[in-house]
Structure 1
Amino acid sequence: FSLCWPCLKVVRVSLCGQISMSVAPLQITEPQSFFSRYLRWLDVLDPTALLSSEAEVENSRALLEKLGSASKYLTQDKKVNDAQKLCEASLHPDTGNAITTLFRPPAFMLCGTPLAIAALLPHTRTIPAFLSQFLFHTYNAGFTFYNRNVTCKPNKIQPFQPMLLFGYATYFSVLGALPQYLMNKFPSAAMQTFMGRILPVPLVTILSAMNVVAVRLQETEDGIEIKDKSGHVIGVSSQAGSKAVKETALSRAMLMGITAMIPVALHPLLSRSRFILRNSKALGPIKCVATALTFGAMIPVSFGLFPRQGTILRSELEVELQGNTTDSVLFYHRGL
């Protein structure tokens, strides 16, 4: 994958109203408001975090372990804040284990941007359209898999899970490339307009959400762990699993839907401008840049749309779990 997406300049601000999110064996802080979560994700998505060595990650983990719950009161300390940022960018919230570098949150911008450009911009042939869709959906499936909730205890063993992920990516790629196939087969003006400008936006939005649901379907069936405010596990809930998957699917659909809409919306505006009328070949690069900027800007919006530590009311849980606690609100890890 091309790692050429420029680093965003992050402006540090004071984040107010934070709550503690337990991350075995760590504790990190998560802002409550959407705007604060957005700013925090801008910080966490710094691509330079991918260059950190294992020793640096372990040192950050050790610092947070040493501070324990006191770390949430020291967020203005640069050393503590940097340690939290590096742990959020490198470690899985459920296990505390390091995530494969290619699928860490900061890598999503670097790897996902060129793949999104290739998948969203028009092609002239079906095979290149399919290949770009396949790479895009394969990476998205891998990212979703590595950043899912791993507290799900499957009732059935799935020995062919990698093949299932490959099958999901192939299926979504075929659907994604279908408009290009129909445009080549039926070259009428109406078909070109519908398949080239109208259908792609809702199609990529739906497929992006379906990608998340397909990869994390097991969480909705077998459930995920839910905890009380003290961090004690009170059971495994499929209702919480369904809510976690739904929120993640909605955030991913918003990311891709808005990214796909920008080049389509810009086309009629740019095509009538004097600059494009004189330099028609510049339209393609401009749309590529617009797609890349939109995708990069929407990633922290998508990741921060819902808190990573999701909440669910006790009344929404299964009847057999409601008697396990007196807390009115329970918590779970949503995933990305």
Structure 2
Amino acid sequence: MDPTLLLWKSEGQSFFQRFGLWFNHLLDPTLLLFSDAEIQKAHGALLEQNVNVKEKDESAVTLLLSSVHADSGALLPLHFRPPAVFPASVFPVLGSLIHHNGVRPALFWQKLLRRAGRKIVSAAASARHWSGLLHHSCRATLAFFSVLTVRSEESRTGIRVFDSNGNAIGVSKAAGKKAVWDTALSRAVLLGTTAAVPIPLILLLRRTRLFQRNPLLVTPCFYASIALVFCLMIPVSFSLFPQLGTINREKVEDELQAEAVGGELYYHRGL
């Protein structure tokens, strides 16, 4: 296990710890200003100090978690780092939620959203009435199954699992299925909430005198609310489940159970 992944063992014990880390640190756009040399230096220090770098430099921990691939230890391309990817995905999300007069425009925005967010998959067409909530619930379900499809290989072939010291002990299909399932749930929450919340909000605003006098304000406020909810839900979605997931010994394959010291094994859930 790369030490960067092991950092999540101390940084992500609870939902509120993970949410604070994402909200206050990992989505900070200033992290994109660091050079590859600076990131490699911090990663090298982490390797040498066996994760104790956290005690000396909290900023280095943040930099590594946002810039280094937790599986391989390789640097993430600049445009795939969280501070760059997820703000850029707001525009495709808005495009996927508007009403389309045909299949091709809808598919275009769905495809663009997949590219922008990598494994953030799409949901939704716009709705302006309460009946649209059911429609968006269906779209959230589609987002869930989309993640299952995109990452189906991990469920079929399994992912690496580690002991409490970070040593790889084998590949587990059970851990792969759990990682994909948890990620799919987090994506359904992200996109389902983003699609559903603006609807009752706009219906309430329409009853106010300001919006009755200025009906043209409804549409821009609707899309602004989508963008706001999406941005707020990103750290919530990413924090629902730990990046360094755990699975009980009884749930993994028989040949791996003996290595589960303390009754648990660890795996990288991914985003």
Aligned CA-pair RMSD: 2.5
When the two structures are aligned, how many residues end up with a matched partner? 268
Q: Which 10-residue stretch deviates more, 242-251 or 50-59? A: 50-59
Are residues 1:58 and 2:40 paired? yes
Query: Structure 1 CA distance, aligned partners of 2:105 and 2:65?
Result: 36
SS at match of 1:311: strand
SS at match of 1:331: strand
Deviations 1:236-261 (A, max 9, x none): 11000000001111111111111111
Judge conservation of contact 2:163–2:259 (CA < 8 Å) in 1.
no
Judge conservation of contact 2:129–2:199 (CA < 8 Å) in 1.
no
SS at match of 1:96: coil
Shift of the 64–323 alpha-carbon distance from structure 1 to 2, 3 Å rule, reads closer
Q: What percentage of residue pairs aligned between the two structures are identical? A: 38
* Superposed displacement of residue 52, structure 1: 2.1
**Of 101, 106, 116, which residue of structure 2 is paired with 1:129?**
106
- Segments of structure 1 that go 5 or more residues without pairing to the other structure are 1-21, 145-168, 181-191
Are residues 1:102 and 2:79 paired? yes
Query: Structure 2 CA distance, aligned partners of 1:249 and 1:26?
Result: 20
Matches within 5 A, 1:261-300: 261-300=196-235
Match of 1:36, as an amino acid?
Answer: Q
Q: Normalising by structure 2, report the TM-score.
A: 0.89
Are residues 1:23 and 2:2 paired? yes
Q: Which has the higher contact order (CA 8 A, sep 6+)?
A: 2
Matches within 5 A, 1:119-198: 119-124=96-101, 126-140=103-117, 142-143=118-119, 197-198=132-133
Are residues 1:117 and 2:94 paired? yes
SS at match of 2:197: helix
Identify the residue that residue 82 of structure 1 maps to in structure 2.
59
Shift of the 106–198 alpha-carbon distance from structure 1 to 2, 3 Å rule, reads same
Identify the residue that residue 35 of structure 1 maps to in structure 2.
16
Are residues 1:71 and 2:48 paired? no
* Superposed displacement of residue 216, structure 1: 1.0
**Of 25, 31, 37, which residue of structure 2 is paired with 1:49?**
31
Shift of the 212–44 alpha-carbon distance from structure 1 to 2, 3 Å rule, reads same
Match of 1:111, as an amino acid?
Answer: A
Judge conservation of contact 1:26–1:64 (CA < 8 Å) in 2.
no
- Segments of structure 2 that go 5 or more residues without pairing to the other structure are none
* Superposed displacement of residue 199, structure 1: 4.2
